[in-house]
Structure 1
Amino acid sequence: MRILVVDDEPYLTDILYKSLKEDGYSVDIAQDGIDGMEYAKLNVYDVIILDIMLPGIDGIQILKNLRNMGINTPVLMLTAKDALEDKVNGLDMGADDYMTKPFELSELMARIRALLRRDQPSKSPILKISDLEVNTLTHEVKRGNKNIILTSKEYSLLEYMMRNAGRVLTRTQIVDHVWDYEFDGLSNIIDVYIRYLRKKIDDGFGQKLIHTIRGSGYCLKEN
């Protein structure tokens, strides 16, 4: 899953970048409002972490612009202020959640996971299809009684496919949600990682879950 962090504090963005990466997310960083607005317009994100006090364009205006453009990506607002007015303005403009600095990193991670579950039929942290289970809290993956060890990128790809089980995902959609801004979309890396996943998820099991949809992309489904 792909996250945009817009904040002008280098120390904080460095911590968030490393922590989110360790948790398996793809992360883009913008350190002023102008860049943040451009990133949010040009790329597809699963969550945007947006500071209110930013140089160039403030976070409230960015949020207002995005909602007016029909971009409904979940937005978690950050601010050093704890004034009620800031919270009200952010929520009225379409923010999905709000945290006041300083905050506990573990709480931020929990709120991100909650935002990612927002549109899921089940609010459980366990994603399941057939006998395949993914625990989004611990990143444990099991198929039947077998524990499956995945790399960080393999896990990110599988989680994205699990959250969209039954849907045909194009290579462009996979790139947009699993890889960050630096990715060279012209390479065959998507096909390579699908092969990696198939070896770990499908090989040795009678029922295949990862399907190639010719001319379209890939789909995770039971049959």
Structure 2
Amino acid sequence: MHIQHWLETVPAVAVYLMVGGVIGLESLGIPLPGEIVLVSATLMAASQDHINPYVLGACAVAGAIIGDSIGYLIGRKGGKPLLAWLGRKFPKHFGPHHVATAERSFTKWGMWAVFVGRFIALLRIFAGPLAGVLKMPYWKFLIANVLGGICWAGGTVALVYTVGKAAEKWMGQISYFGLAAAALFGVGSFVMMRIKAKKAAARSGERQEAESAPATVGE
């Protein structure tokens, strides 16, 4: 079966729910690839007539606004202990350095950090919870949240959909061979990254052992 025919069997409702859900969870404070999911779904809409880009954009906007609002309420109730807990659970996203960087942005820019943060991966995850932790007035947060969600989600869908329609003929040429090549490339890249990470960890362990070894005193 050609990939184009397979895509036609994917229910539009499933795509809408996936986009709204992933973006909502990311905005709530859970590290998920919301932007990747949104772009991929929009490209599908550009090649599949049964996926409405306006409905897709509305679901993305709703997910962003609702997720951010829930994250704000959680942050306001949880306070600093919440950030400490997130730092233990997701050290790569909520480590002390990331929290300090986000706090500086909020202190300097206020509600603009919520709006601009929608376009920046790190702040997109932090915006809702951190605004709540820092006790930003909800009306300010809501204005920035709504405007940021509309501009980011709506703008992304509009831009990617326009580009996707222009490249629709090319996209229709994609076959199983192309997908297989992309999958092999992705798996190969992942394996290489794992190997490099293990080598780096091994080198780091050797350095730590060397530093912790007792010095020998010569007579």
**What is the TM-score when the length of structure 2 is the normalising length?**
0.22
Whose relative contact order is higher, 1 or 2, with alpha carbons under 8 Å and at least 6 apart?
Answer: 2
Q: Tell me the TM-score normalized by structure 1.
A: 0.22
